[in-house]
Amino acid sequence: MATRGGSLVGLLRTAARLDRTQSDPIVSARNAIGVALPLAIGALAGNVAYGLPSTIGALQTAFADRPGPYRLRLLRMLATATAAALTSGLAVACSRSDAASVLLLLVLGFGAGLLLTGGPAATQVGVAATAAALVLGHRPEPASVAPHVALLVLAGGAGQVLLAIAAWPLGRHRPERLALAGLYRELVGVAQRPPGTHVGPPAGDTVTGVRLVLYGLGHDHGPSVEAYRVLLDEAERIRRELIVLAGQAERLRGAGRTAPETAIRTGLTESARVLGELAAALEDGRRTDPAVLDPVRTAIDAQLSVLDAAAGADLTARAAAARLRSLAGQLRAAVETARAGASEGRSGEEPDVYGVRRLRAPIAILRANLTPSSAVLRHALRVALLVAGSDLLVRLGGVDRGYWVPLTVLVVLRPDFASTFQRSSMRVAGTIVGLLLATALVHWIPGGQWYQVVLVALFFFGMRLAGPGNLALSAVALAGLVVVLLAIDGIAPHATVQLRAEDTLIGGVLALAAMLLSPTWERDLVPSRLGDLLAAYRNYLAAVSDPDSDLARRQRTRAASRLARTNARASVDRARSEPVRGEAQVELGEAVLAHSHRFIHAMLTVDAVRTTVHRAGRIDELDGFMVAAAAVLTSCERAIRGGTPPRSVPKLRPLQESLARVLAADPLSDPATASALLDASDRITNSLDTLVNELRRQLA
């Protein structure tokens, strides 16, 4: 019991922790203006309440104002505004029939739950559409009013869109530049403080995010974007070299080779200076200063002399020298690209995975989740039944403004217990504080319509600035916003406090009760996430090993590996925080992550020398080793998914030793590449052999 209580306290501490990573004052201020503007227009027309429908549209659309290219932002926000307008119109048309309103919510709630498969943007569209229908469905109006309400909601959303893309002509590619600058800034940290092979390769999620910005749905064209894409390609290569060099420095330190290890770390530190200049140039929208390369090139040449001197006695030092030379060349190419600013570049069709055909992937994922065993389908059913059912109960009970009960359920309910518990507790606590604060500001300091418009802007600014990472602060601002909007609609603030607090508490309890009656514990999902990780790594290994694999395939498997690693890490963390016994799954997850981190670091070395190896021709021993490594990953994946020890696992060490003998006799006409391949194959063997032994111990 004490352990379970400690888990719940840990969840609350995590939820209450201040997170400023998703706070953007500029976006928050812009969205606040968009929400308050319809009310200001209404005040000028003589009644601030005239702007309420448009404010609802602007409020819902504001949550889709997320980072990304302007085209993508335009599409995303317009989709949210359109969805909110359509569902608002339908809600008003059904508002005089309880049965029709509840049926509409049942359909919308189910759709909102399924949209979880599409990511945060798609989820926000579903929540916005359902929330708008919930609020407006409780205001009985003639069906003839529905088109007018829908148009007003759409107009408010369109106004928010115009504010979001107002800077398009002035800084057309600013989102792309800043995303790329963030990646180079993160690479500076990797070069200055290499994380080592005990954790996953750094900056992977950032690379994936930047690639989606530059190639994703709604991406732009033109010479500037082509230059940014070249810089992204160089950043990926630089990241790989930094990771490989950091691993080689760690290996040299373990062998007591201080001089070459220091040379590598000095070279990494010097490269950080160039990466910092690239990041600053992208942030400022200026050309890079080529003079930054001169002292760095001199310093790296000095470190190469140290590595070359140690190369005769140490294969790792020889491999590191080759990688450091490669890194210097990539830094030079990145500076030249940023210095040129833009070039026409390639004009062919983009890879399918990054073009408009990306739409096929979400549809396939959605179809795959329409099975009884899918956690997403269970979540969608849970949302639909709870939202529609609680709305039906408050309608039958005649509860005044009882829509806050289903609205709370809609906002806090998530597929897993931990997230639902965090959102419920923080929302209840924040709502009570926000209600008291806003009531004091509105009821005790009445200041007229313009005062209310300013309060709406301030509360919404606070809610957006708090962001999704600060649930309690966001709930405080949201509760205050609701009090002011209801006051504009003619409902006295002091009459809102008790009912709103009770409804929020009831909604939070309902969401938690639903999770406890039909729980989806993260501990049950950990093996599946770990299996997905090993499968993704196996696909990446196959793409690197295949001499015929093209760039699109390798990028696709790299992105899938990064996503699988992120999902597995998050799943293990959530399982650790659940108030149920899940120590075995957590221990299994930590073991798989630790040893797979070592494996993927070694695979990055193989990827770095891939071109040279394939140019030298087929090496049967290398092919056999990689096939066997893939078979080991398959055996481990099946063992984890089935909960049984791995069986019929190939022996990697004899194959690695055979590869070593071949490379010693004929080192691919490039001793540095042969050294890197030997070092990587040794680490792959060690990591996978240890993983197999650990799985046999834990799953016995």
One domain for residues 331 and 434: no
Within a domain: 3: no
- The range of the structural domain enclosing residue 55 comes to 15-169+362-517
Domains in the chain, number:
3
One domain for residues 271 and 395: no
pLDDT in tens, 399-424: 777 777 888 888 778 777 777 777 77
If you average pLDDT over residues 267-289, what whole number do you get?
87
668: Cα separation from own chain's centroid: 41
Within a domain: 355: no
One domain for residues 342 and 202: yes
Determine the straight-line distance between the first and last CA of the chain, rounded to whole angstroms: 28
One domain for residues 543 and 687: yes
Query: What pLDDT band is residue 124 in, cutting at 50, 70 and 90?
Result: low
How long is the chain? 700
The full 3-state SS of 519-565, as one line of letters, equals CCCHHHHHHHHHHHHHHHHHHHHHHHHCCCCCHHHHHHHHHHHHHHH
Q: Tell which of 456, 485, 517 closes a domain.
A: 517
Angle, helices 174-192/204-215, rounded to nearest 10 degrees: 160
Q: Are 575 and 582 in contact (CB under 8 A)?
A: yes
Within a domain: 8: no
Query: What pLDDT band is residue 38 in, cutting at 50, 70 and 90?
Result: very high
pLDDT of residue 41: 93
The whole-chain average pLDDT of the chain stands at 81
One domain for residues 528 and 648: yes
One domain for residues 550 and 485: no
Within a domain: 570: yes
Instruction: Tell me the one-letter amino acid at 54.
Output: S
40 CB-near residues (< 8 Å, 6+ apart) = 48, 51, 450, 453
How many CB atoms within 10 Å of residue 189?
Answer: 14
pLDDT of residue 341: 52
Nearest CA to 208 out of 602, 555, 539 is that of 555
Within a domain: 540: yes
How many CB atoms within 10 Å of residue 388?
Answer: 23
Query: What pLDDT band is residue 353 in, cutting at 50, 70 and 90?
Result: very low
Within a domain: 2: no
User: What CATH number did the domain enclosing 631 receive?
Assistant: 1.20.58
pLDDT of residue 531: 93
How many CB atoms within 10 Å of residue 346?
Answer: 10
Query: What pLDDT band is residue 679 in, cutting at 50, 70 and 90?
Result: confident
Q: Tell which of 499, 517, 535 closes a domain.
A: 517
Measure the CA–CA gap between 668 and 311, rounded to whole angstroms: 17
What is the token pair recorded at 217? 């749905």
If you average pLDDT over residues 160-168, what whole number do you get?
83
675 φ, ψ (degrees, to nearest 5): -65, -45
Within a domain: 337: yes
Residue 59 above 70 pLDDT? yes
Distances (CA, A) of 486 to 7, 412, 441, 482, 507: 38, 22, 14, 6, 19
pLDDT in tens, 172-218: 677 778 888 889 999 999 999 888 777 778 888 888 888 877 775 55
pLDDT of residue 7: 54
One domain for residues 319 and 286: yes
Measure the CA–CA gap between 445 and 426, rounded to whole angstroms: 28
Query: What pLDDT band is residue 346 in, cutting at 50, 70 and 90?
Result: very low
pLDDT in tens, 533-573: 999 999 999 999 998 888 888 888 888 888 888 888 888 88
Measure the CA–CA gap between 116 and 108, rounded to whole angstroms: 13
The DSSP code for 172 is T
The alpha carbons of the chain give a radius of gyration, in whole angstroms, of: 28
Query: What pLDDT band is residue 632 in, cutting at 50, 70 and 90?
Result: very high
pLDDT of residue 415: 75
Q: Tell which of 319, 349, 379 closes a domain.
A: 349
One domain for residues 161 and 118: yes
333 CB-near residues (< 8 Å, 6+ apart) = 234
* DSSP 3-state of 446: coil
Segment among 29-33, 324-328, 632-636 with least mean pLDDT: 324-328
pLDDT of residue 408: 83
If you average pLDDT over residues 675-684, what whole number do you get?
86
One domain for residues 179 and 123: no
One domain for residues 505 and 526: no
The answer to whether the pTM exceeds 0.85 is: no
Query: What pLDDT band is residue 582 in, cutting at 50, 70 and 90?
Result: low
Residue 221 above 70 pLDDT? no
One domain for residues 120 and 195: no
Q: Are 245 and 253 in contact (CB under 8 A)?
A: no
Segment among 57-66, 187-196, 222-231, 458-467 with least mean pLDDT: 222-231
Residue 111 above 70 pLDDT? yes
One domain for residues 333 and 252: yes
Q: Give me the half-sphere count of Cα atoms (radius 13 Å) on the Cβ side of residue 189.
A: 10
pLDDT in tens, 281-324: 888 877 787 788 888 888 888 888 888 888 666 778 888 888 88
pLDDT of residue 354: 32
Within a domain: 6: no
Residue 690 above 80 pLDDT? yes
pLDDT of residue 363: 65
